Amino acid sequence: MIIILKKGAPAESVRRLEDNLKAQGVSINHIEGVNQNIIGLVGDTSAIDIENILAQDCVENIRRVQEPYKKANRKFHPDDTVIPVKNTIIGNGSLQVIAGPCSVESEEQVITTAIAVKEAGATMLRGGAFKPRTSPYSFQGLGAEGIRLLIKARNETGLPIVTEIMDCADIDLFADVDVIQVGARNMQNFRLLKLLGRSDKPILLKRGLANTMEETLMSAEYIMAEGNMNVILCERGIRTFETMTRNTLDLSAVPLFKQKSHLPVCVDPSHATGIVSLIEPMSLAAVVAGADALEIEVHNDPKSALSDGGQQLTPVKFADIMKKIKDITAYLGRTIGK
Ligand code: PEP
Ligand code: MN
């Protein structure tokens, strides 16, 4: 971190600033320039409060030379993070396909869909029990009953289950869930992130609707700073000025997340596009871009779905897309599943 001092800054206030920084555990390099003096900070600057430094009257500007995320940073952890989830592994070069309904609606719906996606080659089952809906009048999910039905579907198919948590108070209900999803709307629910950091479950962390990649990595850092290193980043589209798609799928985030971080990366083409005909091309593109996992919405009868009916695939369409995903994965020398 580099602090640029104001011209003619009083020596006394510079000394006070330096003492304050040293007390925070960093060492100081004072560099006298022809026009301006700067202070170089050496050491772990992740806890330094930039706003507070900017507020000092001797400071003109401040620049980070290193990313503020440490635990999620590939620089300090060059090897890929590999996360075992029951009989599958995320991040070992294989591709995991997480498929299932937007919402768990009934036993018949979730089990029929689970069997169909398993047959088509999916390696994990998704389904929302707690649903973050824009309208309070829309279906809000079956809650605890939804998790019970997912567990039943797992018993039936052997597929590990992925489902979203919305509230810290519900954590005990997730004790038997294999991967806990943090939805886009909760990406910066810091209390929830800290709580999940104290769990040992894999966390599928979705990028927020209007969040940068760095903010996403800082949210991963929240979980990791509490001790849970099992974080999977998920690109699910961001809000832009485009209205033809539900969101704009930022596929460049996939290789960039993987360059900046050692965490595995998932892509959700369903929420990213909201358009059934785009799920295939975006899934294939995501695999080529290096995604470790795909999360795709599939419903046994999308026309009767209680949420996101317009973007969910039928099992037949999903099976058709899976054939192409298998082809592209094989072409890349990767496998689906373990
Ligand atoms: C979901 O996956 O069910 C969901 C609500 O997605 P997102 O948080 O990405 O909108
Ligand atoms: Mn959905």
Residue 68 lies in a domain: no
Residue to probe by mutation, ligand 1, list 268, 297, 299, most atoms within 8 Å of CB: 268
Domain range holding 30? 2-63
Ligand nearest to the CA of 238: 1
Whether 119 and 56 map to the same domain: the answer is no
Whether 208 and 96 map to the same domain: the answer is yes
In the prediction, which pLDDT does 44 show?
87
Q: Is 308 in the pocket of ligand 1 (CB under 6 A)?
A: no
Residue 75 lies in a domain: no
Residue 337 lies in a domain: no
Q: Is 102 in the pocket of ligand 1 (CB under 6 A)?
A: yes
Ligand nearest to the CA of 312: 2
Q: Which domain CATH number covers 159?
A: 3.20.20.70
How far away, in angstroms, is 303 Cα from ligand 1 center? 19
In the prediction, which pLDDT does 288 show?
98
84: left (phi over 0), alpha (psi -120 to 50) or beta: beta
**Which segments of 213-252 are extended strands (E)?**
231-235
How far away, in angstroms, is 102 Cα from ligand 1 center? 8
Q: Is 235 in the pocket of ligand 1 (CB under 6 A)?
A: no
Whether 30 and 153 map to the same domain: the answer is no
Question: Which among 336, 257, 255 is positioned nearest to 296, based on CA atoms?
Answer: 336
Whether 50 and 93 map to the same domain: the answer is no
Whether 43 and 111 map to the same domain: the answer is no
**Residue 71 DSSP code:** T
Whether 285 and 225 map to the same domain: the answer is yes
Residue 270 contacts residue 311 (beta carbons within 8 Å): yes
Residue environment code for 119-128, b if the CB has 16+ CB neighbours within 10 A, otherwise e:
ebbbbbbbbb
Ligand nearest to the CA of 98: 1
**In this structure, how many other beta carbons lie within 10 angstroms of the beta carbon of residue 76?**
12
**From atom 4 of ligand 1, which residue's Cα is the shortest distance away?**
183
Whether 59 and 102 map to the same domain: the answer is no
How far away, in angstroms, is 282 Cα from ligand 2 center? 16
How far away, in angstroms, is 32 Cα from ligand 2 center? 57
Q: Is 128 in the pocket of ligand 1 (CB under 6 A)?
A: yes
Residue 164 contacts residue 130 (beta carbons within 8 Å): yes
Distance CA 22, CA 189 (A): 32
Whether 14 and 147 map to the same domain: the answer is no
Ligand nearest to the CA of 182: 1
Residue 73 lies in a domain: no
Residue 166 lies in a domain: yes
Per-residue pLDDT of the chain (338 residues; tens, 9 = 90+): 999 999 989 999 999 999 999 999 999 998 988 888 999 999 888 889 999 999 999 999 999 888 999 999 999 999 999 999 998 999 999 999 999 999 999 999 999 999 999 999 999 999 999 999 999 999 999 999 999 999 999 999 999 999 999 999 999 999 999 999 999 999 999 999 999 999 999 999 999 999 999 999 999 999 999 999 999 999 999 999 999 999 999 999 999 999 999 999 999 999 999 999 999 999 999 999 999 999 999 999 999 999 999 999 999 999 999 999 999 999 999 999 98
Q: Is 48 in the pocket of ligand 1 (CB under 6 A)?
A: no
In the prediction, which pLDDT does 33 show?
87
Q: Is 164 in the pocket of ligand 1 (CB under 6 A)?
A: yes
How many separate domains does the chain show?
2
Angle, CA of 95, 290 and 312, to the nearest 5°: 60
Residue 235 contacts residue 249 (beta carbons within 8 Å): yes
